[in-house]
Every structure is written in structure tokens, then in C-alpha cells.
Amino acid sequence: MRLLALAFLGPVWLMAADGPPPKTTDFVTFAGGRADVSFGSADRVQWDGVSTFVQVGVLACIPRPKAALPLKIVFSSRGYPAVSFFEIAPLLDAVPDGRADNDRREVDRERAAVDFLSAPRISAPDILRKFPQLQSGGVLRPVLTVAAPSSGTPHYVGYCVRVPVKKFGAGAAVIQAAAADAPAETILTLQLAGEKSWWETEGGKTLLAPFLSALGTLVGAAIGFRYFLRQQAVQHGEYVRQQSLQHEEYLRQKFHERKYENRVKLSAYFENTYPAVAKFREATARNIRQSLWDEQIDVIMEPNDLSELDRICREPGNTREQGLANVDQFLRRIFPEFYGGTFH
């Protein structure tokens, strides 16, 4: 039984004695990089003839004391968009003017380049002007292997994210590293967002609320003013209609007053003059109208009635009898009280 127990438990005891497998972070510490990446106009450059968003960051790799030196570290990425990697030191040898060259007696050249690349407001065009090898020197690698020479001293590795402007809205990329043959581990997750519209910026958000408030006030005022104008138009139309009705009523009343005041003249006309003219063998509608003028009956009539009488007398195509009949019908309508010769 003891032999059987040793046979089964021996491998488990040996595994427990060896402990868990080593991890990359047991050999090296990583620092730096920006997790949230928002592309903007400052990140636009022409890359191989295509408008491209470009952002660059720097990672510091610090070997732990227990790591065997030089420490081999392999960088890679997964997700979208892909991330490329580069070492800092090769860039410095070909810097044409190089701010680090001017300051190398006081500041380490590599550290100066790291500070430049890590500056929060540095633009992509500025980076490519200072380090043109990133775009044309073939230094970017999808998988990069470096050797950190000493423990406690940072070894810097740069990473570059680039994506065509037209094809990008948002994405997430994971940067991984593996050290000393340990499994790769995630050291930084990049949350990437496309270029924000002006309304999505802090300035836009600050102005959006008062702008919408002012817009709402203006729209409300415009709607209220339009309703006011419409109401005024309706009221004005009603006022004009009432005034017109009152004016027509006033004219009718004055007409009846004139007829009453001239009742003797009108009775005489319709009893004597009108029958005599109408019965004349060659009389026409115009003769009737002329008799109204001669007897000054026209001054009693309303202007609209006079215009209608002129139209009847000048209406083309009417025979003499038809013209006389139309005039007679017209006079019966406006002077019904005097037909028969007396006012009633």
C-alpha cells in the first residue's frame, strides 16, 4: 500500500516542491504607456499616401534582481488596430539636429528622446519630423525582441499605433510581453477612439448646454411670435370684415334715407317719365339710363348700383328688348317701393 501511495502521490509532491511556473512579471517590471487613446487632428499624417492617425508611446522595462542578464523580452500585440514596436537607441544615431545632441553633456540622450515621445501634447507630425526613421527607416516591427542589459535600470521600448482615418471608429489593442521564456502577459490594453466631433470635445460640451438653451428660447420665441402674428392677422381680418359689413349697412341705410327724402321725385319719375321712355318705340337701355341722369335720380343711387347699370347698358349681344328688360329688372330690385308710382 505504501508503494502504491508513493507511485500515485510522487509526481504531485514533486510538482508542489517545484512551485508554480514562472511569470514574465517575475522577471521584469513594466511602466508607462497610455491606456485611453483618442485620435484627433494633431494625430493626422500622410503615411504611404493615406491620411492616417498615428500615436506613439513608450514603455519602460526594468529587470528584477533575480533575472538573468541580459534579459530577453519579446513584445507583440493582438486586437485592432495592430501595434508596432521599436527601440529608442537606434533612432538617436540618425537624429539630424536632435535636441538630445545639444544637451548630451547634461541629459542622457535616450532619456531626452523618451521625454519627447512621452510628452502628452506632442503631435504626430512633430514626432515624424524629429524621428523620420519611424516612417521610412523600417524600424517598426510587429514583434520586437530586446535584451535588457542591467537590473534596476529602465530599458525603453516604443510602440506605434496607426490606422487609416476613413476606416476607423473605435478599437482595442492589447500589448503583450514575454520574458525569459515565460508565457506572454498583457502589460497594457489600449482603448482607442476615433476623432471626436467638436460637440464631443470638452469645449463643445461646455458650450452645448447654453447653446441648446438659447436655441430653445429662440425657437420658442419664434413660434410664439408666429402665433401672435397669425392671431393678429385673424383679428385684423375679422375687424376688416366687420367694418365692411358695417359700411355696407351704413350705405344701405343712407340709400334708404335718400329715397325717403326724394320720394316725391322718385314717385313722379316712375309714374310718368319712366313709362313714357320705356314705351317709346325706339327706346333702348341707354335711353333709360339717360333719363335717370336727366331727372337727377343717379345722385340718389349708390356707386355700385350705378356701375352695374352701366354694365347692363353696355353689355354686348343684347337685343333692344332684352336690354330694356334687364334695366327694368334692375330698377325693380333697387326701387321696389316706387313701382306703381307711389312710395310704399
What would the pLDDT profile of 218-254 be if each residue is shown by its tens digit? Answer: 898 999 888 888 888 888 888 888 888 888 888 889 9
Q: What percent of the chain has pLDDT over 90?
A: 22
Pick the CATH number of 21-196 from 2.60.40.10, 3.40.718.10, 3.30.590.10, 3.30.70.380: 2.60.40.10
Q: How confident is the model at residue 30 (pLDDT cuts 50, 70, 90)?
A: very high
32-68: pLDDT as tens digits: 888 888 888 888 999 988 999 999 999 999 999 888 8
Residue 171 has pLDDT above 50, yes or no: yes
* Helix, strand, coil percentages, rounded to 5, for the chain: 50, 20, 30
Compute the C-alpha angle 172/176/178, nearest 5°: 175
* Start-end of CATH 2.60.40.10 domains in the chain: 21-196
Residue 1 has pLDDT above 70, yes or no: no
Q: Please tell me the distance from the alpha carbon of residue 142 to that of residue 214, in angstroms, as a whole number.
A: 51
Q: Please tell me the distance from the alpha carbon of residue 344 to that of residue 336, in angstroms, as a whole number.
A: 9
Q: How many residues does the chain have?
A: 344
More confident residue, 306 or 99: 306
Contacts (Cβ under 8 Å, ≥6 apart) of 142: 76, 77, 82, 83, 84, 85
**pLDDT value for 149:** 87
280-327: pLDDT as tens digits: 878 888 999 999 999 999 888 898 999 999 998 888 878 888 988 999
- In 3D, which of 160, 173, 182, 189 has the Cα closest to residue 63? 182
Residue 10 has pLDDT above 70, yes or no: no
Residue 133, judged by CB atoms within 10 A of its CB (0-12, 13-18, 19+), counts as: middle
Q: Indicate the range of 30-44, 101-115, 262-276 predicted with least confidence.
A: 101-115
Total-model pTM: 0.54
Q: Please tell me the distance from the alpha carbon of residue 344 to that of residue 130, in angstroms, as a whole number.
A: 115
**pLDDT value for 290:** 92
- The upper half-sphere exposure of residue 284, i.e. CA atoms within 13 Å in the direction of its Cβ, equals 9
The whole-chain average pLDDT of the chain stands at 82
Residue 8 has pLDDT above 50, yes or no: no
More confident residue, 312 or 7: 312
Residue 97 near residue 164, CB atoms below 8 Å: no
DSSP state, 316?
T
Neighbours of 269 (CB within 10 A): 24
